[in-house]
Structure 1
Amino acid sequence: MKINIVENTVLDLVMKDLPAESESEFKQSDSLDKAKSKFSINVEFEEESFFVTFNLKLATADGKGIIVSFKSKFVTDMPIDEDFKKSAFPYVNAPAISYPYLRVFISNLTLNSGYDPVMLPSINFVALKDKTMRRNKSLES
């Protein structure tokens, strides 16, 4: 099966001053930086395409809050079957392919907005695979 990433889209974006008391809403166990972010991944399937969506809440060192939903579309040359949906590719490889686009978007957004650029850290998507698969199944129910 051939798989290509064909599109990246920002679905939602909020950037605002963040009062100190609001930073607690950015703290969660799935964080990129345990003190200042909240991060999740969702995977959706269609017949010959699938989507990886990153939801990120981030508190910057400049006191800004960034909330972004970033979606990548992948297309296949064959219909997606149940074996593919249960494989590691949509939960590990596809997020690893699309995450650099989110990283560069956040870095450019903060830099071009006049703030210190935020460079999101690398992520071990293998470690997040089971949680992402469980989240995906709960969304389908």
Structure 2
Amino acid sequence: MYKRILVPTDGSEITAKAVETAVELAKLCGAELFAVGIKEPFPYSAISEMQPVPPQEFYDAQERIAAGRVKAVVEQATQAGVSAHGHTIEALHPWEAIIDHAKNQGCDLIVMASHGRRGVSALLLGSETQKVLTHGTLPVLVVR
């Protein structure tokens, strides 16, 4: 059925459900699991002296957080007997990075949570899952 499954993770509780589903599905199908964590780019401003955090410190923190989340998914999959790979990617638009990474890894399914943002930010920014569904061509399993 599915051979290569991508699951994005942001460390949220709702994403944990998607990860659990992706691991179980990968185990049932004998598929490989690809976990991806998206890092935010440095928020440059016109006034460089006003940066609250130096760029390298920001990048290091983003990598540490994303890598930790991805590592947790890979460990969960490995404990379940599923072959897993983890990657972190810096992207301004997470949905684009998810679609591109799925294609680059030869994935045939993306498993995502129904939403990662709540409230006004969800209304203003839209759901990353919705954008993957709208702009992608791969099947997407949405977990609630």
The question of a shared fold, defined as TM-score above 0.5 by the shorter chain, is answered with no
- Structure 1 length-normalised TM: 0.33
Higher percent of residues as strand:
1
- Structure 2 length-normalised TM: 0.33
* Structure of greater relative contact order (alpha carbons < 8 Å, 6+ residues apart): 2
Higher percent of residues as helix:
2
